[in-house]
Structures are given as C-alpha cells and as structure tokens.
Amino acid sequence: MTTIVFALISYLIGSISFAIVTSKLFGLPDPRTFGSKNPGATNVLRTGKKAAAALTLLGDAAKGGVAVWLALHFAPLYGVGDETVAACVLAVFLGHVYPVFFNFYGGKGVATALGILLALNVWLGLALAATWLAAAFFWRISSLSALIAAVCAPLYAWFFHLPPLLVGAVFLLSVLLIWRHQSNIRNLLSGREGAIGKGKAG
C-alpha cells in the first residue's frame, strides 16, 4: 500500500505539464495545437519565447527529480526501499506522458527522464546529459540524441552501481522513452527528421 501511495503521488507530480502551464503564463498558444503538437520545451521554443522554453525544460526536469528525491528520502521511513523508488521512477514518467490533468496527452519525456536520472545518481544524469550534447554536436538532431542517450542509460546505470531494481527501472524508462519517439524514428529512417534549429523536430 505504501508503494502505491508513493507511486500515485509521483504520477500526479508528473502530470503537471509545464509546457502547457508555462504557455498559459506567457500568453502563448497551447503547444498541443501547433508544430509537432508535443507539449515539451522544443515545441514551446517554436513560439520564439526562449524564457518560456527554458522554464518548461527546467520544470519538466525538476518534477522528475522531485518525485524521485521524495521517494529516496522518505520511502525508507515507511519501511520500503528500492521497489518503491523504482515504482516512482516509472510513475512520474508515465504522469508526464499521460497526464491526468491534461486529458492524458503529454510529452515525450526527455527532460523528465533527465531529472529522474539526476536524482537517482548525479553522475549518471550528467553522463547522459553529456552523451546527449555530444550526439547533438555531431548529428544536430535532437530526437536522435535522445534515442542514443536512452540506449546508453541502462548501461550507465549499471556502470554507476545502481541497485538492480533501479537498473531495471532505468531500462524500462529507456524503453518507454524510445517507444514515445516512434514518429521520430520513422522520420529518421526516411531522412525527414529536422535538424536542431530548423525544420520539424520531435
């Protein structure tokens, strides 16, 4: 029961879509109605409001980090451990992808995943951020960089000696993130995926 309560709280935290909230605060159109229709920082950036995009990025990352931090620090007080943290990892990500507050239409989860991984292990999060940046530097495609980082995430989690249950949670997180990028994968295979700073992006 305790694990379910923690997971539910994490899901509700994840369901706060900062792309939509920030767009309302800045008087911008709903990000689900233009561009890629993805409620994330990349799509918000299409409005030209860099501050709104930055706030979206920070907010989406922070909610992932907060949910996992709460689980790491408070779950042991209730006699539960890694299984609860693992459940919260997946719950906050699913909240972002399927937010109950916004008709279950959410983003792809890259920023939220980064926040989750930073909370699990700061070196793990930094290593994956560096992997994303390196891939973006070489290929200039945001979605490809995210996919490469997703593939690397479970390997890095194992390398940084996360407990087996958390390595498993990171693996499932990566699978979900890759699954959310199906349309981007199709575009990559057909050569239609836009580069960073121009064209269509996920």
Which two structure tokens, joined as six digits, stand for 132? 């994303």
- Quick check: 112 and 96 in contact, CB under 8 A? yes
Give pLDDT, residue 201.
41
Q: Whole-prediction pTM value?
A: 0.94
Candidates 163, 74, 79, 93; CA nearest to 121 is 163
User: pLDDT for 108-121, tens place per residue?
Assistant: 999 999 999 999 99
The domain spans of the chain are 2-190
* Tens digit of each residue's pLDDT, the chain (202 residues): 899 999 999 999 999 999 999 999 999 999 999 988 999 998 999 999 999 999 999 999 999 999 999 999 999 999 999 999 999 999 999 999 999 999 999 999 999 999 999 999 999 999 999 999 999 999 999 999 999 999 999 999 999 999 999 999 999 999 999 999 999 999 999 999 988 766 444 4
In the chain, what is the greatest distance between 2 CA atoms, to the nearest angstrom? 51
User: pLDDT for 115-142, tens place per residue?
Assistant: 999 999 999 999 999 999 999 999 999 9
Candidates 108, 140, 111, 141; CA nearest to 128 is 111
Helix, strand and coil content of the chain, in percent to the nearest 5, comes to 75, 0, 25
